[in-house]
Amino acid sequence: MASNAASRRDEDEVCPVCKSSRYLNPDMRFLINPECYHKMCESCVDRIFSSGPANCPVAGCRKTLRKNRFRKQTFEDIGVEREVDIRRRVMHILNRREEEFDSKRAYDDFLEQREDIIANLVSRIDVAKTEAQLQKYAAENMQSIRTNQAIEAEEASSFQARMTLEQEEARLRRQAVRQEYETERREIQAGREDFLSRLASGSSTDAAAIAREGHKVLLKKSSARRSEEERIRQKQAALRSDTKRVSNLSAVEHAGGADTGLVKGLRKIKTPEPEKPYDPFMGYVPEKRDYYALQSYYPSQYLDPIRNDARMLAGGYDLREYYSRTLLEAFAGLSCFVGEEISQRDANISKSTATEGAAMAVESGENTA
Amino acid sequence: MIEDDIYRASSQYRLWSYTESSLQSLRATTNAVASERVRAALRRSRETHQSTASSTAGTPLPESNTEAKNKDEKDVECLTPEEELVLVRYYCEKTLELGETYKPPIPTMVRATAIQYLRRFYLTNSPMTYHPKSIMACALFVATKTDNYYISLRQFADGIPGDTTTDDVIAPEFLLMQGLRFTFDVRHPFRGLEGGVMELQAIAQGQGQPAPHLPYETAEDLQQGLLSIAPPPVPSSSMSDRIARAHGTTRELLKSAAQMTDAYFLYTPSQIWFSAFLLADRPLAEFLLDVKLGGPVTATIPAPETDENGLVNPLYEIRSKLHHVLTECSTLLQSYTPLSSDPAQMKSLKRIAKKLYHCQNPEKVNLAAQKRESTQPSTAVQSDTGTITSESETERLAKKRKLEQEQIVRQNDDVFGPELVTQRTKQ
Amino acid sequence: MALSPFGSRSPSMTVHSPNTAIRLRATAAQKSFTEPASAAVSKPVQNGDRELTEQLNIDVRERYVKDKKVGEGTYAVVYVGHLRHDPSSLVAIKKIKVNAEYKDGLAMDAVREVKYLQELKHPNVIALHDVFSSKDQNLSLVLEFLPGGDLEMLIKDSDIHYGVADIKAWMGMLARGVWWCHENFILHRDIKPNNLLIASDGEVKLADFGLARSFADPLFNMTHQVITRWYRPPELLYGARQYSGAVDIWSMGMVFAELLLRVPFVAGNTDLDQTSKICEAFGTPTEENWPGVSKLPYYIATDKAHLVPLQGRDFFMRQFPTAGPVGADLLMSMCALDPRKRSTAVQCLRHNWWTIEPRPTKNEDLPRKSGGTKKMGDDLTRRGGELDEGMFKSAARQLDFGMK
């Protein structure tokens, strides 16, 4: 039934512009233009738009159309076709990624907002205003739109690459297993032949010993092979983690913009630079001093006996640690002006107390109660 | 300066540094709270006393006696914050002496720690509540534990002249630690002095190194600079002799004046030793400061420059501020004279001790007994709230405490010199 | 000037300075004095209920709420708790038991732990937020909540796989923690995998300062009976009474080796056995490779026939192939028999192993394991110098705290 209906409709189909029907012209193809989505046959498009942009020939529609924008219809329902187009266009512009937002909540809000915009455009509500917003956003966020597009493209291709890699690995594994099976079979064969020939030639040799020996050789070989396999596996793991690192890097590279008028809740600052080299001291500068330069020797009669005390030194006692401590304590806090700093600190605390208000009042209330 | 930030991380800076005014108001608050508690406690003990007196009829007290006592308690005069401070200082001096009685003597650093514990403890506790003589031995014992000079409690108690028990020593430990807000680290100026002296000796021998921010001076420049400073107050044979002499004088100041004044609360350890060093040998101390910060007094260093932003050289700013602070601290250290060597101060101390006898909080007198009580839940008295469950029980305990108190007073008087005995035995 | 990492220590960020608390009270008192007579009569009595010092303690205590017990030992009980005003801010509360057998007041472990943790603030040292006493005169330490378990747990769990990048990350954090202690002239003296606790963000924190002490002063004897045996350096086994930060570096080297091998590297059954195992592994100490060693109290000369030559670089490379040649070199510098030849913490951190490939794993990617809260509870209740297992319980040493 369904196919019947479809074929009948096909046959009945008529170009709204030139009125020629499929019945007369079975090869007829219909095209649409996303400006107005009015359907017309290929020959009409050629005829009307080949010499440049022209108005849509459908009565009442005065949209200016260009030939290069005409394309085949994907969905039968022209409404769906239009919605998909709008969606694609909006998502192309509003292509913020989840990691660019402060919170899951902010990202969800963004997704909802994007759906609203799409719905507005589809159902023709506030079209002018919405379009203006979109244009403004696109102009202001060109950079971020482009980087996000690049990331998407890369993700798509790296997904492809990963699939290929996995297939390749599977193939290699299969091949390795097959090879291993082959070699093992061949070795067993060879070992057996060797064993038989030795048994045959050596009259005085203990048969059991030979058998044991042969078995041992086999074991050794297969364990060597296993460690080789292990090595390969590790290499592959390293390879995988390398590719992971590369993709991480590119993710770090893209920089998010500040809050735009349209999209809210974006993360304020992104770290655009690549990873800094690892600092074992995490930002501290060891042994840096402002008042003195630590020397490796200080004259002191009091310390002289220690310098010669073999037992103390053998235990690891180190006068340099003593120097380091005494010198530090000689100057640590020399320009901490307690009177000044403490009164300032107290003032700051009382200020914050005043602003914190309620919580502190409760606490002090508890104290006196 | 990096070294200063390192000091700022210490608990001494974070919790135990004050301005003069904040120190004063803290002591005033402590004194006010304690006075109030003493009055309330005396009132309670009087009430108990009266009620038990009336209940145990048959042996009424002589009327005149009761009246006199009531009058006495109504007008009980509490110590002022200043008087409390004198008392605490006296026991700080005693701590120093107590440390000396051990064989070998307890190291200076450990004794100094104990003294600072006492001083810190009495910022938020009053001698009217806890008599310093009961806290003092404990402070020294805790200091031996925290400063890596641990002596077993038995050995420690045996070392105290008189018959102080281990319980007497350990009873206030927890209280003391609470008063210290569980910070046991005390930053002393002693080690810093050693460092400064080592630097000076190195410079004197031509092995000195310039300060990181004044890198243009060579070892020879430094040595020449040191040899051309003004002569010392007392002539000495050589520069290293002069440094050693100043070292010794400074050390004595740090052991005494620095411990007995508010220096630790108001200044940093490096400022304290520099101040004491200034008192010992001013030209030497100023030379070292000039080497470190560039000084207004040295000809080799150009006058305070302003950089391109029109800002004063920060080192110069520090140097002039430091000059002011070190002068203040020197004055504070200089103001100290030991109580025991000053008859006028001793006289006032006796007056204060006498006064304290009347305003001692009766509920906190015997810490060892209290500790025993707190570990025996069967005892019907909650000393903290003063809730009374059984009058006769309370009375019995009060009597027991009074006995114990008197006993302790006698014991401790034996221990800590005869000065206070005369007036106590009069009572 | 270098950055100043010294922020507020208390997570509550409110009243911490005694000055503030006191000012609050002072103003309250003032208020009551200026109020009408009736109020003035009642208030001071209430005020007088507590000494100022007790009030300060109560203020601290009231800031926290205990939730549940997560560990109990003979020495301490550990609870998980939180700040009263913020239930999401977790802390560990270690309540130290009053030891009836120990007549000398608060135990030395607790004294040391409190003293040194009050002074140390570093991302790789467990943070002590507050200390307070409870009504029954027990001491409670409010410590950083570290639910990630400890390194021992990860080493022993065969289900957990980790690689050299992970080891590098952990060792880096350990080395920084040790460096910070030494920078503040504090020896830890009990570094071992189960004292290295893991925070929820993967950060490794040095914990248990019950055997710590300050160092560098000459002519003061220190005890040699410190550091759990398997991690104890040869100079302490030989009874040295004056030593340096090098003792902690040895322990660090042993932890490094254990991370690589996943079993303790030199695990002696007795102190003597430990010494001989060290000799077997690293070489016999002699006057040639360690001048003065024969003067140490418990040094026993080995006869020439049993002398093991000092192990060189190739030994470490062979024994620890996973570390790579550069990692093996760092390990070797931590395991020098002669403490003077051992790297200092700064030298360790300046080694180029940290900067070569692979880069240390990021904290969030480090292997982790659940059930860490329980482990933290157990770790924090243990007394310094003890091994976890009952294996050597019979040989439990009496720690000698006398240092005169």
Of the pLDDT bands very low, low, confident and very high (cuts 50, 70, 90), residue C43 is very low
For A128, the 3-state DSSP assignment is helix
Q: Which of C10, C104, C403 to mutate to test the interface with B (most CBs of B within 10 A)?
A: C104
Q: Do C185 and A282 touch (CB under 8 A)?
A: no
Using CA atoms, how far apart are residues C128 and B319, in angstroms rounded to an integer?
36
Mean pLDDT in residue range A79-97: 86
Of the pLDDT bands very low, low, confident and very high (cuts 50, 70, 90), residue C164 is very high
User: If you average pLDDT over each of A73-77, A127-131, B199-203, which comes out highest?
Assistant: B199-203
Q: Do A281 and C176 touch (CB under 8 A)?
A: yes
Which residues in B lie closer than 8 A to residue A343 (C-beta atoms)? Answer: 19, 21-22
| Chain C interface includes A308 (CB < 8 A) | no
Instruction: Decide: B178 and B143 in contact? Cβ < 8 Å.
Output: no
Using CA atoms, how far apart are residues A147 and A141, in angstroms rounded to an integer?
10
Q: What pLDDT shows up at residue C169?
A: 96
Closest-CA distance of chain A to residue B317, Å: 10
Using CA atoms, how far apart are residues B304 and B315, in angstroms rounded to an integer?
9
Q: Do B125 and C17 touch (CB under 8 A)?
A: no
For A97, the 3-state DSSP assignment is coil
Closest-CA distance of chain A to residue C88, Å: 17
Q: What pLDDT shows up at residue B259?
A: 96
Instruction: Decide: B381 and B389 in contact? Cβ < 8 Å.
Output: yes
Is the pLDDT score of A181 beyond 60? yes
Instruction: Decide: B48 and B398 in contact? Cβ < 8 Å.
Output: yes
Closest-CA distance of chain B to residue A89, Å: 54
Mean pLDDT in residue range C338-359: 95
Write the residue in C51, C115, C213 that is nearest to B34 by C-beta: C51
Q: What pLDDT shows up at residue C6?
A: 39
Q: What pLDDT shows up at residue A255?
A: 42
| A317-352 residue pLDDT tens | 999 999 999 999 999 999 999 988 888 887 877 766
Other residues' Cβ atoms within 10 Å of the Cβ of residue A199:
13
Other residues' Cβ atoms within 10 Å of the Cβ of residue B287:
22
Q: What pLDDT shows up at residue B395?
A: 53
Q: What percent of chain A has pLDDT over 90?
A: 14
| B39-59 residue pLDDT tens | 888 888 777 777 665 555 444
Write the residue in B22, B30, B40 that is nearest to C52 by C-beta: B30
Using CA atoms, how far apart are residues C252 and C246, in angstroms rounded to an integer?
10
On the question of a cis peptide bond just before residue C264, with omega within 30 degrees of 0, the verdict is: no
DSSP symbols for A303-362: THHHHT-HHHHHTT--HHHHHHHHHHHHHTTTT--HHHHHHHHHHHHHHHHHHHTHHHHH
Using CA atoms, how far apart are residues B417 and C346, in angstroms rounded to an integer?
53
pTM: 0.69
Which residues in A lie closer than 8 A to residue C351 (C-beta atoms)? Answer: 280
Q: Which candidate in C150, C190, C378, C379 is catalytic?
A: C190
Q: Which of B11, B16, B222, B270 to mutate to test the interface with A (most CBs of A within 10 A)?
A: B270
Token pair 């937020």 is at which residue? C129
For C281, the 3-state DSSP assignment is helix
Q: How far apart are the first and last CA of chain B?
A: 58
For B380, the 3-state DSSP assignment is coil
Mean pLDDT in residue range B128-135: 92
Token pair 């709204």 is at which residue? A16
| C242-300 residue pLDDT tens | 999 999 999 999 999 999 999 999 999 999 999 999 999 999 999 999 999 999 999 98
| Chain B interface includes A329 (CB < 8 A) | yes
Is the pLDDT score of B306 beyond 80? no
| B348-393 residue pLDDT tens | 999 999 999 888 887 776 666 665 555 444 333 333 433 334 445 5
The residues, ordered by sequence, that sit 6+ positions from A267 with a Cβ below 8 Å of its Cβ are: A100, A101, A102, A256
Is the pLDDT score of C363 beyond 70? yes
| Chain B interface includes A62 (CB < 8 A) | no
